[in-house]
Amino acid sequence: MTGPGCGFEVSLQQLNDLLTDDSGFYSWPTKHFHEVYPRIYVGNAFVATNVMRLKRLGVTHILNAAEGNSFMHVNTNNEFYAGTGVIYHGIPASDTDHFDISVYFEEAADFIEKALAYKNGKVYVHCREGYSRSPTLVIAYLMLRQNMDVHTALAMVRQKREIGPNDGFLRQLCRLSQRLAAEGKLWNK
């Protein structure tokens, strides 16, 4: 079961190394949103609640990775986007180490895949800050639907946006990577 790079703590350290600079510091996002993969945007609540801005960007789909009404969440729903033509999907994730976001990986990947299948579809994936929950779901999508391993997917998103998924989320992404590798579904293994 344990092959090369399968120890969680080792992988966790490697992933955190990809997220931080040479001094070991994480960076806060420099912009409200970034296109992290063709037609997939990761961003914050500020843009998610600005329908005019979304329209200008050409966003057709919204994936809220922080649906809910606590201070940690972004309280939007289908009604919020009613009449805008934007297709909405919400996932009630909390940004804590012990929250199991992996139960939403398939659901999120399906939604992103459907959005991209649209003619000129663009999906805006957000949480409150676009720092932990939303990039985690996009990384899972890249692994599940683009057959990337966790290091490749995380590095690709990090190249485009400053992100910092919590260690619990990183562990869950490592587990997904291991499962996909065991099933022979990653292209660079």
The single residue of 127, 154, 173, 174 carrying the catalytic annotation is 127
Q: Are 138 and 42 in contact (CB under 8 A)?
A: yes
Q: Find the distance separating the first CA and the last CA of the chain, reported in whole Å.
A: 15
| The pair of three-digit structure tokens given for residue 158, joined into one six-digit string | 């990090």
Q: Residue 127 catalytic?
A: yes
Give the residue carrying structure tokens 């990090």: 158
Structure tokens at 130: 């676009």
Residue 52 and residue 96: Cα distance in Å, rounded? 31
Rounded-to-integer distance, Cα 148 and Cα 141, Å? 9
Give the catalytic positions in this structure: 127
